[in-house]
Amino acid sequence: MPDKGQTVDFVDGLYTFCGGGDVVSRNGLAIHQYVCNASMKDRCIYNADGDWLIVPQEGELNLTTEFGLMLVKPLEIVVIPQGIRFAVDVCGPSRGYVLEVYGVHFQLPDLGPIGANGLADARHFETPVAWFEDRDVDNFEVCSKYHGKFFSAIQDHSPFDVVAWRGNYVPYKYDLRKFMTFNTVSYDHADPSIFTVLTAPSSRAGTAIADFVIFPPRWSVAENTFRPPYYHRNCMSEYMGLICGTYEAKESGFKPGGGSLHSMMTPHGPDAVCFENASKATLQPQMLGRNTMSFMFESSLSMAIAEWALTNNRDMDYYKDWAALKKHFKMPSAF
């Protein structure tokens, strides 16, 4: 959060964590975090580079857009498409995460064999409540993000003077608690793609510039199975975040508002405590993630980490969560 005595709005409190691809050629993504405690007074911003998917973790966001007003609370997300001007008002200290994609828009994932109903339903997405203002302002600042840099211009009136519009290019929000979860009801462990809320597809079939995935409360009933996520390496970059509660595969890993990045082909999985508990657990139906909501920004692109992320609030002992893992394999006596 901003230091005591500081006044920081959404724009000034936006920090880049990592990114991949290229903003100029419009093929890539960036992951940001925001911390703020002040509203944007006579100030707005638009992103000329791409779409922003905003995940509030603490504090409500009152958004004023060219299309109207939106209230976005923790456990909800909002997508601001490229080029749309908006301002953020807050009632106190606020923070959250931002996933930015270039050159492509977020969309619902293909449901395949699931059929017509499941995961995030189009009917649950909400658009702004109509509102406009006709207000002259001596110095209204319009901030823009272009080629990864911020610029500003001054005009003499509010930009939120759009009286009417038509079409479907509009900001929208979604309540994560309305997600219809799928999971195995027999054995084994399903891929996390079954938890995809929105995807920004790449030009290569079957891969994405970015997926937004959540791990909501759900029942776990698999038999003859190690139920937590398997230890693995994969060809995707995985950024984990936590809105509330604890992450089920790593309860001591990080707190709400924190995050972790597992770069592609880096081994990862449950920590030692999770492994021991899950290996000995009685396999009965179990509710996972109650009062918890963790999420993942996943990408087929490799990530470059910003200097800010490398030098601020970094957990240098992160690797120790796996140091206590024991070797359980024993060579059969026949060999």
Domains of the chain with bracketed CATH:
14-303 (2.60.120.10)
Beta pairing, strands 27-36 & 94-102: antiparallel
Residue 312: is it exposed, middle or buried by C-beta count within 10 angstroms (0-12/13-18/19+)? exposed
Contact predicate 148/179, CB 8 Å: no
Q: Residue 220 and residue 190: Cα distance in Å, rounded?
A: 11
Percent of the chain whose predicted confidence (pLDDT) is above 90: 76
Supply the residues annotated as catalytic: 189
Sign of CA dihedral 185, 188, 192, 194: negative
Q: Residue 152 and residue 147: Cα distance in Å, rounded?
A: 14
Enclosing H/E stretch for 34: strand 27-36
* The one-letter amino acid at 96: G
For residue 120, the model assigns a pLDDT of: 98
Residue with tokens 């901003």: 2
Of the candidates 299, 272, 136, the one whose C-alpha atom is nearest the C-alpha of residue 209 is: 299
Residue with tokens 């002259």: 136
Residues flagged as binding site for Fe cation: 232, 238, 268
Contact predicate 311/250, CB 8 Å: no
For residue 251, the model assigns a pLDDT of: 65
For residue 304, the model assigns a pLDDT of: 96
Beta pairing, strands 259-262 & 304-305: unpaired
Q: Residue 35 and residue 51: Cα distance in Å, rounded?
A: 19
For residue 43, the model assigns a pLDDT of: 98
Sign of CA dihedral 193, 194, 198, 202: positive
Residue 280 DSSP code: H
Residues paired with residue 198 on neighbouring β-strands, in sequence order: 212
Q: Residue 133 and residue 155: Cα distance in Å, rounded?
A: 15
Residues flagged as binding site for homogentisate: 247, 268
Question: For the CA atoms of 203, 206, 210, 211, what is the dihedral angle to 10 degrees?
Answer: 150
> What secondary structure, in 3-state letters, does 224-259 show?
CCCCCCCCECCCCEEEEEEEECCCCCCCCCCCCCCE
Residues flagged as binding site: 232, 238, 247, 268
pLDDT single digits (tens) 200-210: 999 998 899 99
Of the candidates 40, 37, 41, the one whose C-alpha atom is nearest the C-alpha of residue 11 is: 40
- Averaged in consecutive runs of 10 residues, what is the pLDDT profile of the chain (335 residues)? 85 97 96 97 98 98 98 99 98 97 96 93 97 96 97 97 93 98 92 95 93 96 91 92 83 82 91 89 91 96 94 87 87 77
Residue with tokens 């592609």: 264
Residue 93: is it exposed, middle or buried by C-beta count within 10 angstroms (0-12/13-18/19+)? middle
Of the candidates 324, 97, 314, the one whose C-alpha atom is nearest the C-alpha of residue 213 is: 97
Residue 273 DSSP code: H
Write the CB contacts of 318 (distance below 8 Å, at least 6 apart in sequence): 253, 260
For residue 258, the model assigns a pLDDT of: 92
Write the CB contacts of 135 (distance below 8 Å, at least 6 apart in sequence): 157, 158, 161
pLDDT single digits (tens) 51-69: 999 999 999 999 999 999 9
Beta pairing, strands 293-299 & 237-244: antiparallel
